[in-house]
Amino acid sequence: MNLCLFTGENLGEEHLPLFEQFRTGIYEPAFPDIDEREPFENIIARIQDGGSPKTLAVLAVEGERPVGGLIADWYPGCRSLELIYIAVEPASARNGIGTVLLREGTSLMIDKLGGDVACVYAEVENPFSAPRPNGVIDPVSRLRFFARQGAVRIPINYVQPPLSAGQDYARNLFLLCFPSFVKGRQDCMPAKDLGAFLSAFYEGLAEFSADNPAKFSAELSLQLKQVFAAADFDNNIVFDHLTEKADFHIPEASVGCHFLLKNIEEGDTLHDTRNDTCPNFDSYETDLLNYFNQTSSRPFRTHHVPLKENVRLLLPLCYEYSSEGLTYFRLCARKSISVDISLNWSWCSLSGKYLAHIVLSPVYGENADYFTELDMVRFVSAFGSRQERYRCMGPDGSVASASWDGLKLEAGEGLFLSVTDWIRLMLDTKADLVYQGTGFSEVNLYKVSDGEGVALFRNFDDFRSVILDPAGPDEDFLWNKVMCGIVLGIFDFKRMSSPEIYDTIRPMVERKSSFMVLNRGHLMEVSYSDDKDNEKDEDLIVSPYLLIPSAALAFNECLLKESSEEVDALFADDGKFAENRYKKRGSRFYSQSRALQREVQKISQRLNDGYLKDIFQYVSEQDILREGSRERGHLSMLGSLEKRLDGLRGRRDYYLEEYKKGIDTNQNMLLLALAILQVVTAAFAGSKWWIIAAVSAAVLSAALFSGWLRIRKGRKD
User: Does 587 lie in the same domain as 544?
Assistant: no
Q: What is the mean pLDDT of the chain?
A: 85
Band (691; pLDDT cuts 50, 70, 90): low
The pLDDT of residue 522 is: 86
Antiparallel, parallel or unpaired: β 248-250 and 449-450: antiparallel
114-162 pLDDT, tens digit per residue, is 888 999 999 999 998 865 555 467 889 999 999 999 999 999 999 999 9
Percent of the chain with pLDDT over 70: 85
pLDDT at residue number 387: 60
| 450 belongs to a structural domain | yes
Q: What is the span of the domain harbouring residue 698?
A: 661-716
pLDDT of amino acid 464: 83
106 assigned to some structural domain: yes
d(CA 77, CA 75): 6
User: What pLDDT, on a 0 to 100 scale, did the predictor assign at position 716?
Assistant: 47
214 in a domain, yes or no? yes
Residue 278 within a domain: yes
- Domain presence at residue 438: yes
Return the pLDDT at 714. Answer: 43
Q: Which pLDDT band holds residue 586 (cuts at 50, 70, 90)? A: very low
Is there a single domain that holds both residue 227 and residue 279?
no
Strands (E) in 272-317, as ranges, are 300-314
Same domain, 121 and 30: yes
CB-CB neighbours of 36 under 10 Å: 20
385 pLDDT higher than 60: no
The mean pLDDT of 460-481, rounded to a whole number, is 83
pLDDT (0 to 100) of residue 104 = 95
Is the per-residue pLDDT at 530 higher than 60?
yes
Q: Is residue 495 part of a domain?
A: no
Domain boundary among 183, 209, 235: 235
Mean pLDDT of 439-460: 91
Q: How many CB atoms lie within 10 A of CB 232?
A: 10
Sign of CA dihedral 86, 88, 93, 98: negative
Radius of gyration over alpha carbons of the chain, in Å? 36
Band of pLDDT at residue 436, cut at 50, 70 and 90: confident
With beta carbons less than 8 A apart as the criterion, state whether 331 and 296 touch: no
209/169 same-domain check: yes
Residue 584 has pLDDT above 50, yes or no: no
Tell me: do 162 and 275 sit in the same domain. Answer: no
- Indicate whether 342 and 199 sit together in one domain: no
At 322, is the secondary structure helix, strand, or coil?
Answer: strand
List, in sequence order, every residue forming a beta bridge with 2; answer none if it has no partner.
61
User: Is pLDDT of 421 > 50?
Assistant: yes
Check whether residue 295 and residue 424 sit in a common domain. yes
pLDDT of residue 136: 61
- Domain shared by 521 and 450, yes or no: yes
Q: Please tell me the predicted confidence (pLDDT) of residue 510.
A: 83
Cα–Cα distance, 5 to 106 (Å, whole number):
10
Q: Is the dihedral of CA 656, 659, 660, 661 positive or negative?
A: positive
pLDDT at 43 over 70: yes
DSSP category for residue 602: H
Separation CA 427–CA 342 (nearest Å):
12
pLDDT in tens, 164-208: 888 899 898 999 999 989 876 678 999 999 999 999 999 999 999
Q: Which of 235, 258, 281 is the last residue of a domain?
A: 235
Judged by average pLDDT, the poorest of 25-39, 269-283, 462-476 is: 462-476
* Per-residue pLDDT at 662: 62
- If asked whether residues 622 and 668 sit together in one domain, one would say no
Query: Which element (helix H / strand E) includes 566?
Result: helix 544-568
Q: Tell me the torsion sign for CA atoms 36, 41, 46, 47.
A: positive
Looking at residues 406-415, what average pLDDT do you find? 90
Total of domains in the chain: 4
Whichever domain contains 197, its CATH number is 3.40.630.30
Looking at the fold, whether 45 and 109 belong to one and the same domain comes out as yes
Query: Is 456 within the bounds of a domain?
Result: yes
Per-residue model confidence as pLDDT tens digits over 631-642: 888 989 999 999
* Cα 524 from Cα 567, distance rounded (Å): 33
Mean of pLDDT values over 614-625: 91
Q: How confident is the model at residue 489 (pLDDT cuts 50, 70, 90)?
A: confident
Residues in contact with 321: Cβ distance below 8 Å, sequence separation at least 6, in sequence order: 327, 328, 330, 381, 388, 389, 390, 490, 491, 492
Q: Which residue among 176, 208, 235 closes a domain?
A: 235
The one-character DSSP state at 399 is: B
Residue 469 is assigned to a structural domain of this protein: no
H or E segment at 610? helix 589-610
Q: Is the pLDDT of residue 535 over 50?
A: no
Q: What is the pTM of this model?
A: 0.84
Distance CA 653, CA 539 (A): 55
Cα 268 to Cα 169, 265, 271, 412, 428: the distances in Å are 54, 6, 5, 23, 8
Number of Cβ within 10 Å of residue 573's Cβ equals 7
pLDDT in tens, 661-686: 666 555 565 666 666 666 666 666 66
Highest mean pLDDT among 241-245, 531-535, 537-541: 241-245
697: exposed, middle or buried (Cβ count in 10 Å: 0-12, 13-18, 19+):
buried
455 secondary structure, DSSP code = B
432-453 mean pLDDT: 89
Lowest mean pLDDT among 177-186, 420-429, 612-621: 177-186
Note the maximum CA span of the chain.
137
One domain, residues 542 and 567: no
Confidence of residue 316 (pLDDT cuts 50, 70, 90): very high
Residues 69 and 20 in one domain: yes
